[in-house]
């Protein structure tokens, strides 16, 4: 039997681990096109193999840098939306829970909104690193030219983004997998849930007993597995959830607010 939004509130209020798994749709209302937005998408007139793969980087690093620089400058102009903010606000509203954000996004908007535990399984275009993994990682500041060589070992430097065909960072993915297995409530938000292995996390959460909630205006291959499918944008849903939930657990710092008992 499918549940309703009112049924989410008690499980959330009781949860010890809440996971919010996010994709490009969450940032759509901030003005960042999603992957599969047709003619307006970031990938509309571009061959992903040329700009987001190791082969593309080795064949034409200037083209790869230019494409990432254009994303970097787009991201520098946008702000988190009420979806990012509502997710970040869950931390204060649920002080007894650990709220883990697992994101496929590379735009840094969760941290900008105030989320404190963010696992970026596809990396971030706000950082650069050594292509040879010597340990060099640095913030890529807006408006600053990134070094093309690693200052530590001289190998090529590159955006700290996971490209097509590349393995995910194992340390980050292990943390994501652990949070998934521990999850009492698992939201999948703004993702078409077809990019693997990231999408397999949501299935694992369900198998390990989490309540699974999909937030997406459109149906996805994943919808049939969700306990509750929210057919609205994330920027409408999370503020509404926050409002309803705060009536049960009390506003942060308010008289009825729940407190962590250590």
Binding site for ligand NAD (CB under 6 A): 23-29, 32, 34-36, 42, 104-107, 122, 190-192, 195, 215-218, 220, 233-234
Tokens of 138: 């640095």
Is the Cβ of residue 80 or residue 249 nearer to ligand NAD in the bound state? 80
Spell out the long-range contacts of 217-225 with Cβ–Cβ below 8 A and sequence spacing 24 or more. 217/25, 220/191, 220/192, 220/193, 220/194, 221/192, 221/193, 221/194, 222/188, 222/193
DSSP 8-state class, residue 1: -
Is the Cβ of residue 12 or residue 20 nearer to ligand NAD in the bound state? 20
Examine the residue annotation and report whether 139 is marked as an active-site residue of this protein.
no
Which among 84, 110, 122, 131 is annotated as catalytic? 122
Q: What sign has the CA pseudo-torsion 177, 181, 187, 188? A: positive
Is the Cβ of residue 10 or residue 77 nearer to ligand NAD in the bound state? 77
Q: How far apart are CA 109 and CA 78, in angstroms?
A: 9
Is the Cβ of residue 68 or residue 122 nearer to ligand NAD in the bound state? 122
**Listed residue (186, 237, 233) closest to 213, CA to CA:** 186
Catalytic residue numbers read 122
């Amino acid at each position: 039997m499918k549940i309703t939004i009112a049924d989410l509130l008690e499980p959330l209020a009781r949860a010890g681990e809440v996971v919010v798994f996010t994709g490009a749709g969450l940032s759509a209302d901030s003005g960042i096109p999603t992957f599969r937005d047709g003619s307006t998408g970031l990938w509309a007139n571009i061959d992903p193999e040329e700009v987001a793969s190791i082969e593309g980087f080795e064949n034409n690093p200037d083209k790869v840098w230019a494409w990432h620089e254009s994303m970097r400058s787009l991201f520098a102009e946008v702000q988190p939306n009420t979806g990012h903010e509502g997710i970040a606000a869950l931390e204060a509203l649920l002080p007894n829970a650990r709220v883990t954000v697992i994101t496929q996004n590379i735009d840094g908007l969760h941290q900008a909104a105030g989320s404190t535990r963010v696992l970026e399984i596809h990396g971030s275009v706000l950082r650069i690193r050594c292509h040879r993994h010597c340990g060099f990682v640095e913030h890529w500041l807006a408006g600053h030219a990134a070094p093309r060589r690693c200052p530590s070992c001289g190998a090529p430097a590159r955006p700290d983004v996971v490209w097509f065909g590349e393995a995910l960072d194992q340390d980050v993915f292990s943390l994501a997998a652990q949070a998934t297995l521990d999850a009492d409530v698992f939201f999948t938000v703004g993702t078409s849930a077809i990019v693997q292995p990231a999408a397999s996390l949501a299935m694992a959460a369900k198998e390990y007993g989490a309540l699974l909630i999909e937030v997406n205006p459109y149906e996805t291959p994943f919808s049939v597995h969700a306990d509750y499918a929210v057919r609205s944008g994330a920027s409408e849903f999370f503020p509404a959830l926050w409002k309803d939930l705060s009536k049960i657990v009390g506003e942060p710092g308010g008289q009825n607010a729940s407190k962590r008992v250590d």
